[in-house]
Structure 1
Amino acid sequence: MEIIIADYSGFCGGVRRSVDLANKAIEENEISYSVGPLIHNPQLVSKLEGEGLKVFSKEEAEGIKNSTVLIRAHGESAKFKDKLIENGNELLDATCPVLMNIYKKIVEKEKEGYKVVIVGDKTHPEIIAMESFLNDGIIISDETEAKNIKGNGKLYVVSQTTNRLDYFYDIANKLKDNNDSVVIENTICKATENRQQAAKSLAKEVDCMIVAGGFNSSNTNKLYQVAGMYCKNVFRIETVKDLPLQKLSKFKKVGIIAGASTPDEIIEEVVSSMDEFTKEEFMNSLEDSLKK
């Protein structure tokens, strides 16, 4: 079996920065807190908790005082962060820099008289935080919702950073039908675009694709969608335990791509497990042949 790891697999710059800040908090403070899971990878979050990082919900975090609080990569509202500071906390803000830039853009556009439309998942922490910077923003997630937005003078349309490019433009372009002036800005993270392109390219070349990452990871789920468009056999896994080794054994060329929150050790474990299984299968086949 030939195993090929796609380009751009594993941590993106924003995730790596947030993990580095978490490690700093653990090293320098007796007690430090994270508001919600730092990133969408349960294994890494659990590891950080084992090293001393306490993960609190947003509601619980409002009662934290005089401590070090880590703001997760997906961001939080400015009001919430101000409240934490009022309670005497020191903030380590791990909000992805790409998101910080989007906050600035949408605030400026709203001041200029635009109605800001965000294309994304209403329940995702990234979108919840993004919307909090607006006085009257709109979140949409499909073309039907886009068609129902009518009669606005000026619209400024942005995307969740982990969307597929085609998905974003299919929805955003529908807004042009019923509104006078629509400005569409692609705010999908460049790392996301590169990773999705890598998934597309590799999926065309292999017999099977493995997509690794937290099951709660938006960007990993999008990679699974992209891979499925160009390869008939795609498996979505979170850790090596999810590998369907028996099913994989029939493929000669297997591609692997990992989401932006997937640690290198998980990728390495997946490759190692497949290598060992392939060797074992070969030895068993050889023994059977010699017996004959």
Structure 2
Amino acid sequence: MKVTIDQNSGYCFGVEFAIQMAEDEMEESDNLYCLGDIVHNDMEVQRLHEKGLRIISREDLENLRNCKVLIRAHGEPPETYQTALKNNIELIDASCPVVLKLQNRVKNAFDQMEKADGQIVIYGKPGHAEVIGLTGQTMGKAIIVMHDEDLDKIDFTKPVTLFSQTTKSTQGFYRIKAMIEERLQATNGELETVAFNANDSICRQVSNREPQLQQFAQEQDVIIFVSSKKSSNGKALFEVCRATNPHSYFIANEEELQPEWFEGMNTVGVCGATSTPMWLMEQVANGIRTLDSELLEAT
């Protein structure tokens, strides 16, 4: 049985950069705090914990003094920087450049919308770290939409500027955009009477993975998708695999592999989310090869 790891899977640039910064810092310091999970993968968080990285909450940050805290790739709202300044905390800022650029765009758009009595709308997951950082650029006034019913929170008689969380699906963004346009037209007659500005702010390194993953899934008899259950990006990309190849299975590590998945199969593809480390996919691939050897010996 041939086992192939998808070389397009694994960390995006932002996550890889944040982890490298954390590891570099821990070589010089015994103690480094990280504001929230550095990546949505429990096994990688545990690996870094063993090296000295300690995960803290925003509440914990308020009580820390005279220490170093890593800001992960998702970025942070302005209040985090204010707290750090007040508490003499040195920030190791590993915010993804794509996210930082988006935060700046959201802040500028918010300033314009305030003058026009308009609204900033963000297509994203409520409570997600990146979304919290983006909302912070709007003094907490941004409207977060993810489901159809969330559109009811928008006042369609006022101007709307739409952005997206960088890791959301392109298809989902344009669907939400079209629905907002329909609601604006239904409310105001002609769309042009109310300003609407839609900004596709999805990271192309992430969005391009969907067609790449579809192609990879088509080429394999079985797909083993490796990701933490808490990764929203992982859940979305797994659905891309499953829609393409019904023999797709979602696992957190090699211990969850089931021998019956591989009976009568010739090729297996191992892939993962933007938060899945390559070492973990390699571990899973080796686990599949071990299972294959055991099945051959049994026959």
**Could you say whether these structures have the same fold, taking a TM-score greater than 0.5 normalized by the shorter chain as the test?**
yes
Give the aligned partner of residue 103 of structure 2. 103
Give the aligned partner of residue 159 of structure 1. 164
Give the aligned partner of residue 224 of structure 1. 238
Query: For each residue in 1:59-82, what CA deviation from the matched residue of structure 2 results, as whole angstroms up to 9, or x when unmatched?
Result: 012111111111122222111222
Give the aligned partner of residue 116 of structure 1. 120
Query: For each residue in 1:141-185, what CA deviation from the matched residue of structure 2 results, as whole angstroms up to 9, or x when unmatched?
Result: 112322663424422211122212111211121000122332222
Secondary structure of 1:178's partner? helix
d(CA) in 2 for partners of 1:103, 1:62: 23
Which letter maps to 1:122?
P
Does 146-155 or 8-17 show the bigger shift? 146-155
Which letter maps to 2:258?
P
| CA deviation after TM superposition for structure 1 residue 216, in Å | 1.1
Secondary structure of 2:202's partner? coil
Give the aligned partner of residue 149 of structure 2. 144
Which letter maps to 2:156?
G
Query: For each residue in 1:116-144, what CA deviation from the matched residue of structure 2 results, as whole angstroms up to 9, or x when unmatched?
Result: 11111102122122111113211011123
Which letter maps to 1:202?
F
Alignment of 1:33-182 (within 5 A): 33-113=33-113, 114-135=118-139, 136-146=141-151, 149-179=154-184, 180-182=194-196
| CA deviation after TM superposition for structure 1 residue 43, in Å | 1.0
Secondary structure of 1:62's partner? helix
d(CA) in 2 for partners of 1:214, 1:97: 24
| CA deviation after TM superposition for structure 1 residue 246, in Å | 2.5
Give the aligned partner of residue 288 of structure 1. none
Which letter maps to 1:90?
E
Secondary structure of 1:44's partner? helix
Give the aligned partner of residue 207 of structure 1. 221
| CA deviation after TM superposition for structure 1 residue 5, in Å | 2.4
Query: For each residue in 1:214-260, what CA deviation from the matched residue of structure 2 results, as whole angstroms up to 9, or x when unmatched?
Result: 21112111111111221112111111112223322332222221111
Residue 261, structure 1, aligned to residue 275, structure 2: yes
Secondary structure of 2:239's partner? helix
Contact 1:149 / 1:178 at 8 angstroms: preserved in 2? no
Taking a change above 3 Å as real, the CA distance of residues 157 and 274 of structure 1, as seen in their structure-2 partners, is: same
d(CA) in 1 for partners of 2:149, 2:57: 33
Give the aligned partner of residue 244 of structure 1. 258
Structure 1 residue runs of 4 or more that deviate by more than 4 Å after TM superposition: none
Contact 1:116 / 1:156 at 8 angstroms: preserved in 2? yes
Percent identity between matched residues is 27
Give the aligned partner of residue 189 of structure 2. none
Secondary structure of 1:109's partner? helix
Contact 2:143 / 2:153 at 8 angstroms: preserved in 1? no
Consecutive unaligned residues of structure 2, counting only runs of 5 or more, are: 185-193
Compute the TM-score of the two structures, normalised by the length of structure 2: 0.90
Which letter maps to 2:222?
C
Contact 1:213 / 1:220 at 8 angstroms: preserved in 2? yes
| CA deviation after TM superposition for structure 1 residue 205, in Å | 2.6
d(CA) in 2 for partners of 1:243, 1:198: 24
Contact 1:249 / 1:278 at 8 angstroms: preserved in 2? no
Compute the TM-score of the two structures, normalised by the length of structure 1: 0.92
d(CA) in 2 for partners of 1:218, 1:105: 24
Taking a change above 3 Å as real, the CA distance of residues 265 and 7 of structure 1, as seen in their structure-2 partners, is: closer
Among candidates 187, 191, 198, match of residue 201 of structure 2: 187
Contact 1:39 / 1:74 at 8 angstroms: preserved in 2? no
Consecutive unaligned residues of structure 1, counting only runs of 5 or more, are: 286-292
Q: RMSD of aligned C-alpha atoms? A: 1.7
Give the aligned partner of residue 290 of structure 1. none
Paired residues, number: 285
Does 173-182 or 102-111 show the bigger shift? 173-182
| CA deviation after TM superposition for structure 1 residue 32, in Å | 1.7
Contact 1:7 / 1:195 at 8 angstroms: preserved in 2? no
